[in-house]
Chains A and B, each alone.
Chain A
Amino acid sequence: MSEPILSVQDLRVTFPTEDGLVRAVNGVSFDLYAGKTLAIVGESGSGKSVTAQAIMGLISRRAAQITGKAVFQGQDVVTMPDRQLYRLRGAKISMIFQDPMSSLHPYYRIGAQLVEAVRAHQQVSKAQAREQAIEMLRMVGIPAAERRVDDYPHQLSGGMRQRVMIAMALINSPSLLIADEPTTALDVTVQASILDLIAQIQQTHDTAIIMITHDLGVVADVADDVIVMYGGSVVESAPVAEIFAAPQMPYTLGLLASIPRLDRDPDLRLDPIPGNPPSLISPPPGCAFNPRCGYSRLVPDDRCQQELPELLAVTADHRVRCHIPATDREQLAREALASLATAPVGGEG
């Protein structure tokens, strides 16, 4: 395989606060290739957004300690001087944020905001930039783009605003797109069209995408590879089919068992993960998930409570952070998925 477009190695982000050190990201590593989509899944406080912001160079080095590497096209973003970051962000790497209303400037017409994005990175006239802006708006499916380009953000619906955000992120044809919960604030029908749009653009431009989400349905829809984060650490990573067919970490299993879904028996009671997500200031000792894990009894000598498990490979591209012996984990996964009794998949199509 060719060189990865982004290689993240042991990325750590800690924020010193009055209450103590917040360990938001504890050693995240992955490689991402052109044209591929990596989904980072986790709940609030899992460190998924901070990971993305660190890769985007959006975390102030005064406010946080960032260690590790995030090598994008041969350059390490973590240690890159600000001046160089300016040239990278919005041009080679861009980001779509969750909330399209607060991410667009309410006082400027969307055209002006798009033109600014173009002229920050390309030597073109205002008129040429405006042409590009209209072209881009048309591409993301905004009707009457030549008129809507002069609208203010408040004149657009949520879905349209998110399309503008996507247009802005893609206008300089980045090779890496980071989408942080891009559809969470949107209705399902709008979500469907936005995901389709992102997939289309990825195909034509061979863009690499990091999709940050808590929605396993979205993951199944768009991802090639999946990273599951919990309490700032990667607890499982695998190709998308494997995460759903043969998950090994009890947290991943718990997520799959606890979500209501159309392809499961609605009279079957949901099986929630007990308890609450861990504190990032004083995480539980040992495995961060152990207080909520029903299976630590399978591990002798209280190892789950005492020793942080390492992220180990079970197959070439499937890694799991768990003390439970591999054979037991596979057994657990089989039982859990069988009890879910989801519909057999595929069908006539």
Chain B
Amino acid sequence: MSTSSVSTSDPILQVTDLRTYFPVRSSGVVRKVIGQVKAVDGINLHLAPGETLGLVGESGCGKSTAGRTILRLLEPTSGSIVVNGTDITTFSRRQMVPIRRTAQMIFQDPYNALNPRHTVGTIIGSPMKVQRLQPPGGVRAAVQELMARVGLNPEHVNRYPNEFSGGQRQRIGIARALALRPKLIVCDEPVSALDVSIQAQILNLLQDLQDEYQIAYLFIAHDLAVVRQVAHRVAVMYLGHVMEQASRDDLYLRPRHPYTHALMSAIPVPDPTAQGTRERIVLAGDLPSPINPPSGCVFRTRCFQAADRCATEVPPLVELAPGHLVACHFPLTSLPAGVTVRADSGFVEQQPMVFQSPSEVVTDVPIGVPQEPMETGTLDGTVHPEHGDGSRS
């Protein structure tokens, strides 16, 4: 999958200032609303036909809520969702039925996402039944064709989910999502419940299907390495907000947000000789409560370079380079120390670290105490010039 293949036509998905809040109620007889969990707090996303947007973040960042809200499985609080030119933000369940032909979902857990009392044939054929579709040759033939396409034996059409392994069940879920030939599929952690040797099978299958049917994926995952393998563009979420969004290579080779840095430096690389040279940015403390998020920048309580300004001023998502959006007052300029990311053009980018000794600086940051900013560039009106990556062809 190459980034150049993506067309610039009308987006298949346009999400504007989307918010999903869940009410927090008091216990007792009168369950008064006493607060709100701001699971998704104003995100903007767009997705072109045939494109994959990776949505990454740690548990509790709101990525799954965002995916479910976009398909109207959860109620949006405000904002707008436009799928294939139709604003579906306030559609009723009935109005959503035809939309489901365009937009489908693949779930994380292939054990709970399939009805154990239905045969595979019934499961994969149900979208056609709901939509009252009569494929030429009948539903059963269409189901078997789908099964063959996703790598299942079509003869197993009468078997039940418990007769299949985890990887095969995920293929069933994919076949079901594919049944209506959708243009958009929201994949919510589609491989994280699978064994490592099976993950690659499913990732390759998803890519092949995209090439064949020009499906756009909103690919939600916590694993940055998995997302890098499949996504054209990537958005990083933290506590309901998008912190950074960029093309795949920009994000992985030139991450600008401190949170993206922390994530990248935390991924263990399967290479024992490289481990010694890596510096880990250890985030202090825990994810703050989304009921009462920190003022200013939501990441500041764990950020290794937070300053006074971060507590008072919400950093806007600013375009620092074409297509590279960052929400930070003090964007960074190089890869985390020792983190080796291999580019597609075949050279290795390994830049010297910018801050003196990140591990010393950050490990003992007490929660909630802003630190002095480090000697990196600031965003005071001036956009940082391209930094030390002139070697990129």
Contact = CB atoms under 8 A, between A and B. Distances in A.
Interface stretch (B24-32, B308-316, B338-346): B338-346
A20 interface: no
Given A187-B59, A345-B340, A261 B270 contact: yes
Contacts of B133: none
Contacts of B223: 260
A147 interface: no
Interface string B327-348: 0000000000011111110101
Contacts, number: 178
Interface in A219-270: 219-221, 223, 240-241, 244-245, 254-256, 258-267, 269-270
B203 A270 contact: yes
Given A187-B59, A189-B262, 11 more contacts: A220-B275, A259-B200, A260-B223, A262-B224, A262-B341, A263-B340, A276-B168, A345-B274, A346-B273, A346-B274, A346-B277
A217 B277 contact: no
A195 B348 CA distance: 27
A344 interface: yes
Contact of B229 (A43, A196, A216, A260): A260
B226 interface: yes
Interface string B257-280: 000001111111111111111001
A263 B225 CA distance: 9
A159 B204 contact: no
A125 B2 CA distance: 66
A240 B342 CA distance: 23
Interface string B1-26: 11000000000000000000000000
Give the one of A157, A215, A265, A267 with max B CB within 10 A. Answer: A267
8 pairs of A and B residues whose beta carbons are closest in the complex: A217-B268, A272-B200, A349-B277, A187-B58, A258-B200, A216-B270, A270-B200, A260-B229
A193 B282 CA distance: 6
B280 A270 contact: no
A interface majority secondary structure: loop
B287 interface: yes
Interface stretch (B80-88, B190-198, B373-381): B190-198
B199 interface: yes
A189 B197 contact: no
Interface residues of B, number: 62
Interface in A312-345: 341-345
B90 interface: no
Given A158-B59, A270-B204, A191 B266 contact: yes
Contacts of A43: 195-197
B357 to A, nearest CB: 13
Interface residues of A, number: 59
A81 interface: no
A220 B263 contact: no
6 contacts: A188-B224, A196-B280, A218-B268, A220-B274, A260-B228, A273-B201
Interface of A: 43-44, 143, 157-160, 187-193, 195-196, 214-221, 223, 240-241, 244-245, 254-256, 258-267, 269-274, 276-277, 341-349
Contact of B199 (A216, A256, A259, A348): A259
A349 B338 contact: yes
B196 A265 contact: no
A262 B252 contact: yes
B342 A263 contact: yes
Interface in B276-309: 276-277, 280, 282-283, 285-287
B135 interface: no
Contacts of B344: 265-267
B269 A160 contact: no
Contacts of A262: 224-225, 228, 252, 264, 267, 269, 339-342
Given A220-B275, A276-B198, A349-B276, A143 B339 contact: no
Interface string B231-264: 0000000000000000010001000000000111
**A223, A255, A259, A261 interface centre (most CB from chain B within 10 Å):** A261
Nearest to B277: A349
Given A260-B203, A265-B344, A267-B344, A348 B273 contact: no
A159 B266 CA distance: 14
B350 interface: yes
Nearest to B2: A267
A244 B271 CA distance: 7
Contact of A263 (B166, B199, B204, B341): B341
B266 A255 contact: no
A341 B282 CA distance: 29
A269 B72 CA distance: 33
A110 B352 CA distance: 43
Nearest to A270: B200
Contacts of A240: 272
B324 interface: no
Nearest to B231: A266
B229 A266 contact: yes
B199 A258 contact: yes
B282 A255 contact: no
Given A220-B272, A258-B200, A262-B269, A347 B338 contact: yes
B167 interface: yes
A277 B266 CA distance: 30
A276 B163 CA distance: 13
Contacts of B204: 269-270, 272
Given A187-B58, A347-B277, A272 B197 contact: yes
B367 A271 contact: no
A52 B272 CA distance: 24
B342 A160 contact: no
Given A189-B263, A262-B224, A265-B342, A277 B195 contact: yes
A214 B195 CA distance: 8
Contacts of B207: 269
B165 interface: yes
A220 B270 contact: yes
A173 to B, nearest CB: 24
Contacts of A273: 197, 200-201
Contact of B266 (A160, A188, A260): A188
Contacts of B338: 347, 349
Nearest to A242: B272
Nearest to A45: B195
Nearest to B191: A260
A273 B201 CA distance: 8
B348 A344 contact: yes
